[in-house]
Amino acid sequence: MYTKKVMDHFEHPRNVGEIPDASGVGTVGNAKCGDIMQMFLKINDETGVIEDVKFKTFGCGAAVATSSMATEMIKGRTVDEALKLSNAAVVEALEGLPPQKIHCSVLAEEAVKAAIEDYQKKKKAE
């Protein structure tokens, strides 16, 4: 059902946790399956580079795996590069997901974009 890569990111998720002084935090959820994702970003204001990223996900194995992979894909990237992250790219990096679990990759993309949006709002307010 799941690829080895999905199982690896589920059993050994990368970047789990919170960043207390996060530059941006994004929370998304899906009532349909009960998955909730929270993404924390630490962004260098001068370079726009995501220096650290953490996540907390409450949900199925695919939700944890997609969150983990998404953090790996944006860490060290600029905000502009991270905004281009697509759920399809996350699925491809995980070497596939069952059709009924594709929504988890959409949540991962949305969580990243929500955290960046939060960061951008905070920056404008300064």
Active site residues: 33, 104
Closest CA to 48 of 126, 120, 110: 120
CA distances in angstroms from 18 to 31, 92, 114, listed in the order given: 23, 26, 15
Helix (H, G, I), strand (E, B), or coil: what is residue 71?
helix
